[in-house]
Amino acid sequence: MSYETTLAEIKSAVGTETHLGSWLEITQEMIDAFADVTIDHQWIHTDPERAAQDSPYKSTVAHGFLTLSLIPHLSDSVNPDRPIYPGVKLGVNYGLNRVRFPHPVKPGDKIRARTELQSVEEVPGGVQTVSKITIELEGAEKPCCVAEIVARFYF
């Protein structure tokens, strides 16, 4: 597929849901590993006994940034066998415009991402996209994360 055809296809998707991901269960082991990597061992995340007593959630909760960091996986944007757009050689996270964490994520909760493409603009060698990613929590009315992601894709 030519670059021009791919670009037209990407632009035609603006304003639509472009992806609905699979559910992923969040485990205490994932939360603990994230705490180790980020050196954020606050008890609300890593001490199930204390969290059961002192937390308003009566459980540990995942770091908001853990949820945010799972967006590439949840949105299937890093699968080397299925590039997000035909002909993409490289995709990079360019930044965030806005992030909110409206609902906590507890161990055992399942989350998934919905992606809505908001804008596309050409940059040298590729495109820059802005997508609204809503991370849903199975069984909850509120999402656990809503983020506006800026990404660049090079062809």
Q: Which domains does the chain show, CATH number per domain?
A: 3-154 (3.10.129.10)
pLDDT recorded at residue 77 = 76
Q: Find, among 91, 87, 112, the residue nearest to 26 by Cα.
A: 112
Tell me phi and psi for residue 39, to 5 degrees. 60, 40
- From the list 45, 60, 57, 73, the residue with the least C-alpha distance to 135 is 73
Q: How far apart are CA 143 and CA 113, in angstroms?
A: 10
CA 82, 133, 151, 6 torsion: positive or negative?
A: positive
> What is the SS3 assignment for 123?
strand
Residue 61: the pLDDT is 98
Position 86 scores a pLDDT of 81
pLDDT at 83: 75
Q: What is residue 84's predicted lDDT score, i.e. its pLDDT?
A: 81
Beta bridge partners of 132: 116, 148
Confidence at residue 90, expressed as pLDDT on a 0 to 100 scale: 87
Residue 18's pLDDT is: 94
pTM given for the model:
0.90
* Residues lower than pLDDT 50 in the chain: none
